[in-house]
């Protein structure tokens, strides 16, 4: 393991004393938990956190925090943003989260909830989480209709042109959203994709007001979708439940009629994604 995760025998922490025996064992445990706490801080933050902010929140010297961040960045667990010198969870952290979400017991419950939603809506429903400047589909139940969009679990999609993605953008601060979109670029996936930053900002404000994500043939030509958020107690969005359909079968307005059922599914899925004290 890298030096940032463990000390050499007889080496002291900055400003501390040399640890031996049981004390050293406790120190190793503390350092292991420090890694998890750091990732937890980044995952729960509404915007990228700087070195100084992380050091202050975790009460760790900046030099130690810098070494830890460098190591985690090398292994893909954190990502340094090009603007603002902040840090966000990296691909390896997301893969760990996905592996947890794919736990058989959790997936059985999630699949059951989404399956019931598909039975009501008649259309494909999925569970998506944000990852950096994209969304990731972590669970999905497809309609039995022949005309449908097939996406593999773990597939990534842009934020600016998907119902779930625009919902995630609507829950960000203006600064965080601008930084992310500058990094992402606004690619036109269909003729209806919004690629003008001012128009997209207007759309995000509308979605924030509605509390519902909408994709009107912006991601895939001929497909529409709506999404509702799954939020933590502090209002932070952690995932989204979405339903999409071909326009040959349903319009956005028709999908909107299923928003109450989507919200019910979001309430049922919330305990699977959040471990909060009562």
Q: What is the pLDDT of residues 203-243, one digit of tens each?
A: 999 999 999 999 999 999 999 999 999 998 888 898 999 99
What's the CATH number for 93-273? Answer: 3.30.450.40
Same topology, domains 21-89 and 93-273? Answer is no
pLDDT digits (tens, 9 = 90+) for 159-181: 999 999 999 999 988 888 888 88
Looking at residue 184, its pLDDT comes to 75
The CATH classification of domain 21-89, taken from the options 3.50.50.60, 1.10.10.10, 3.40.640.10, 3.40.50.300: 1.10.10.10
**What is the domain partition of the chain in residue ranges?**
21-89, 93-273
Q: Give bridge partners of residue 87 from the DSSP assignment.
A: 49, 80
Percent of the chain predicted with pLDDT > 70: 83
Rounded to whole angstroms, how far apart are CA atoms 59 and 57?
6
User: In the sheet that 78-80 helps form, which strands lie side by side, from edge to edge?
Assistant: 49-50, 86-89, 78-80
Q: Can you spell out the DSSP letters for 74-126?
A: HTTSEEE-SSTTEEEE-HHHHHHHHHHHT-HHHHHHHHHHHHHHHHHHSSEEE
Handedness of CA 160, 244, 254, 164 (dihedral sign): negative
Rounded to whole angstroms, how far apart are CA atoms 258 and 147?
20
pLDDT band at 29 (very low <50, low <70, confident <90, very high): low
């Amino acid at each position: 393991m890298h030096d940032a995760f463990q000390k050499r025998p007889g080496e002291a922490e900055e400003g501390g004393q040399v640890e031996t025996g049981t004390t050293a064992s406790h120190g190793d445990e503390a350092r292991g938990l420090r890694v998890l706490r750091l990732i937890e801080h980044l995952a729960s933050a509404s915007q990228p956190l700087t070195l100084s902010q992380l050091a202050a929140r975790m009460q760790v010297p900046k030099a130690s925090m810098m070494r830890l961040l460098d190591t985690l960045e090398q292994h893909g667990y954190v990502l340094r943003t090009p603007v603002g010198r902040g840090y966000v969870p990296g691909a390896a952290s997301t893969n760990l989260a996905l592996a947890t979400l794919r736990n058989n017991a959790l997936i059985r419950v999630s699949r059951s909830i989404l399956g019931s939603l598909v039975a009501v809506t008649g259309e494909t429903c999925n569970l998506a989480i944000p990852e950096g400047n994209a969304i990731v589909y972590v669970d999905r139940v497809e309609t039995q209709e022949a005309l449908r969009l097939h996406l593999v679990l773990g597939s990534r999609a842009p934020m600016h042109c998907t119902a779930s993605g625009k919902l995630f953008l609507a829950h960000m601060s203006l600064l965080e959203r601008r930084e992310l979109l500058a990094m992402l670029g606004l690619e036109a996936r269909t003729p209806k994709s919004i690629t003008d930053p001012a128009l997209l900002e207007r759309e995000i404000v509308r979605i924030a007001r509605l509390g519902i994500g909408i994709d009107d043939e912006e991601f895939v030509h001929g497909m529409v979708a709506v999404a509702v958020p799954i939020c933590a107690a502090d209002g932070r969005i952690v995932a989204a439940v979405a339903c999409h359909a071909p326009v040959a079968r349903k319009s956005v307005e028709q999908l909107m009629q299923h928003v109450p059922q989507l919200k019910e599914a979001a309430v049922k899925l919330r305990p699977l994604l959040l471990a909060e004290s009562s």
